């Protein structure tokens, strides 16, 4: 079986990561794994700035159109996609390029996750009963494990439920369980390239992309998503979708819709840049013209 080389390209939204990854994939015999919190969903095409049908046909992609919008993506979702991508890349003699703005998932896979036991039906039912009173559930866990609950607020339903399941299944404080079952890295030997872009250029690209999204049918897409899935799913709270819902409610004008999406996207980009700068051991952080030849070298076949 052929060996596989891999690298990750991170960077803020609208920085040009996908275009760079597509170029490299064609030149370096590689598949692409998208790590993006919206592209993972079917039917969310315009709001996610998902690669076009033509681009998806050029290079095999993973991590795209894998869940329905009323399902919840998690790091486990992307671990499964990474394993699937590796399996295909290895069997097909391909390299792998990991790319996306949701670099929290990449960090989680590099650091690894602790082994979590399978939950019995009894544990699941009991957890559901306890979770009907979220405040009481939070207080219960604070008594059991003040160390781990220090960083979990009383309104964090998702994490409270996860900690409750683990506690009820194992009878151990979650922090004790994690200490006995340290995380094992999922991704190893993966250079990380941080794509930089001039702030003013990024601002202009965000504005242009927002305008194109609206002209391409964003409003109709969100209206259709609401009819199919309602407003409760996490996917319906994403930038681009939540503002469009406000427009559909008559709360903002179309001009305000465009301005709000651009503003919120720029704010997200700033948060992404800060996260990437502080959370990764980067191989390089530079603009595309500098990263491209470096990436070509890293992906060159042995």
Least confident stretch, 22-31, 81-90, 148-157: 148-157
Residue 288 backbone phi and psi in degrees, to 5: -60, -40
The distance between the two most distant Cα atoms of the chain, rounded to a whole number of Å, is: 58
**pLDDT band (50, 70, 90) for residue 302:** very low
pLDDT score of 1: 42
293 vs 18, 27, 179, 277, 290, CA distance in Å? Answer: 16, 11, 42, 21, 6
Q: Which residue has the higher pLDDT, 6 or 3?
A: 6
**Which residues are registered as beta bridge partners of 32?**
61, 97
3-state SS, one letter per residue, for 15-46: CCHHHHHHHHHHHCCEEEEECCCCCCECCCCC
* CA separation, residue 50 to residues 9, 122, 226, 298 (Å): 16, 40, 19, 26
Q: Which domains does the chain have, with CATH numbers?
A: 6-111+186-298 (3.40.50.300), 121-180 (1.10.20)
pLDDT, tens digit, for every residue of 134-192?
999 999 999 999 999 998 999 888 889 999 999 999 999 999 999 999 988 999 999 99
SS3 label, residue 171: coil
Q: pLDDT band for 301, please (50, 70, 90 cuts).
A: low
Please tell me the distance from the alpha carbon of residue 46 to that of residue 249, in angstroms, as a whole number. Answer: 20
What is the pTM (predicted TM-score) of this model? 0.84
Instruction: Give the pLDDT score at 113.
Output: 84
pLDDT value, residue 2: 58
Q: Residue range 206-217: average pLDDT?
A: 98
């Amino acid at each position: 079986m052929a060996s596989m080389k891999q690298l990750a390209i991170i960077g803020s939204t609208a920085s040009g990561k996908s275009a760079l990854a597509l170029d490299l994939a064609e030149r370096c015999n590689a598949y692409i794994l998208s790590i993006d919190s919206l592209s993972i969903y079917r039917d969310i095409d315009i709001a996610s700035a998902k690669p076009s049908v033509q681009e998806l046909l050029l290079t095999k992609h993973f991590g795209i159109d894998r869940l329905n919008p009323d399902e919840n993506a998690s790091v486990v979702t992307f671990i499964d996609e990474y394993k699937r991508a590796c399996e295909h890349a290895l069997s097909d003699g391909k390299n792998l390029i990991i790319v996306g703005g949701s670099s929290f998932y990449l960090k989680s896979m590099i650091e690894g996750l602790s082994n979590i036991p399978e939950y019995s039906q009894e544990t699941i039912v009991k957890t559901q009963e306890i979770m009907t009173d979220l405040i009481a559930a939070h207080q219960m866990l604070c008594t059991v494990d003040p160390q781990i609950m220090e960083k979990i607020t009383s309104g964090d339903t998702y994490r409270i439920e996860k900690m409750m399941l683990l506690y009820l299944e194992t009878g151990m404080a979650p922090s004790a369980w994690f200490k006995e079952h340290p995380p094992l890295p999922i991704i190893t030997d993966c250079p990380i390239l941080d794509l930089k872009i001039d702030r003013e250029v990024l601002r202009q690209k965000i504005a242009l992309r927002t305008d194109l999204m609206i002209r391409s049918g964003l409003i109709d897409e969100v209206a259709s998503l609401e009819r199919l899935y309602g407003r409760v799913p996490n996917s319906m709270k994403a930038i681009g979708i939540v503002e469009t819902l406000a427009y559909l409610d008559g709360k903002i004008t179309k001009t305000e819709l465009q301005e709000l999406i651009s503003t919120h996207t720029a704010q997200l980009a700033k948060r992404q840049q800060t996260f990437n700068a502080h959370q990764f051991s980067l191989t390089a952080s530079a603009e595309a013209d500098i990263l491209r030849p470096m990436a070509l070298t890293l992906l060159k076949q042995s």
